[in-house]
Structure 1
Amino acid sequence: MKKSILALITATSLLTACATTSQNVSSDGLYSFPEGIEDGYWAMVGDVDGEYAVINFKGNLTHNYRFKCNAETKTYRQTEKETYTLKPTTNGMQLVYKNEPAFSTLKAITLEPKKFLIMQQTFPDKELQELLPDGLEFVYFYTPTLKPLCIS
């Protein structure tokens, strides 16, 4: 599995030169996601604490689905779904959960429509900024249906 993830990341790096990397600023000076990001779902490469994420974007919302996978039976089950409101700023899209303060800011670094997406996530929290001054980058592959990448 680790070799296949490494191959996916290497392929992604090679494809990055051909992908959309524009700044995506709308006429009002606020950030907007590039066209094509709302098509289908985006399955994250790798897991976070044993869970595999799939995200999608619709209007001013993003849905984050989490899955547990069983490699032996080649099955998966959804464990959670979180919905965030997207609020555009000059630096990216803030992720707001319910009525809480913005948790983080997302930016599409690279998008090849219906192929792959690289997102950067930065955090307003000072402690997280010190730990992750450049934020985090996540690699996603397109999937037309809600399905994690954990089963090959």
Structure 2
Amino acid sequence: MADVTMTVNGKTVSKTVEDRTLLVQFLREGAGLTGTHVGCDTSQCGACVVHVDGKAVKSCTMLAAQAAGSEVTTIEGLASGGELHPVQAAFREHHGLQCGFCTPGMIMAAVDMINRLGGPLDEATIRAELEGNICRCTGYHNIVKAIAAASAEMAGVRTAAE
């Protein structure tokens, strides 16, 4: 057993967990944050992406103990002051989701992508960066459109659609 303490979405969370407890289990079962999904348990689908110390990680292959002492942000902590994060708003506006299962991981991966690369981002870059995040419902067209719009907005660039 391990005593694990981390800051999740700005709040301190402490739990005693089995050594083999995955971060995704800690978040879903220990912290009650079910927005982070378990899709494959093998780091292939990206449904479990969260940010640990500001970087995107697949929480299904990271032990909770490895995140001890870290700042973790989940999809639930992305919005601020009742306002959606620009990427969340863009996914809604551009219909970048269908069933919604992959959406939290896609959004968290997109935020990381924009934070690392800046913007505006082009389609080829977005598609290359999304490798490792699987959506079984769509052809990714609206997901890419949403990320491109959010990256332009976050960079302060007006798009042709505006």
**Do the two structures share a fold, i.e. TM-score over 0.5?**
no
> Normalization by structure 1: what TM-score?
0.26
Which structure dedicates a bigger proportion of its chain to helix?
2
> Normalization by structure 2: what TM-score?
0.25
